[in-house]
Structure 1
Amino acid sequence: MRKEVQQYVQAKPILQKFIREQPRWYRQLARQPGDLQSFELAALHYYQQTIPHKVEKITSTLEMASFMLHILRSMRQND
Structure 2
Amino acid sequence: MRKEIIDYLETKTDLQKFVREQPIWYRKLSRNPFDLESLEIASLHHYKRTVPHQVEKFTNGVQMASMMFHMFQSMKNQN
TM-score (norm 1): 0.93
Q: Which runs of 5+ in 2 are unaligned?
A: none
Q: Give the deviation of 1:32 after TM superposition.
A: 0.2
Aligned length: 79
Where do 1:24-39 residues align within 5 Å? 24-39=24-39
Q: Give the deviation of 1:13 after TM superposition.
A: 1.3
Which residue in the other structure is 2:56 paired with?
A: 56
Q: Which runs of 5+ in 1 are unaligned?
A: none
Which residue in the other structure is 1:13 paired with?
A: 13
Distance in 2 separating the partners of 1:6 and 1:24: 15
The root-mean-square deviation of aligned C-alpha atoms, in Å, is: 0.9
- 4+ residue segments displaced more than 6 Å: none
Q: Give the deviation of 1:6 after TM superposition.
A: 1.3
Q: Percent identity?
A: 53
TM-score (norm 2): 0.93
Structure 2: which amino acid aligns with 1:40?
A: E
Which residue in the other structure is 1:22 paired with?
A: 22
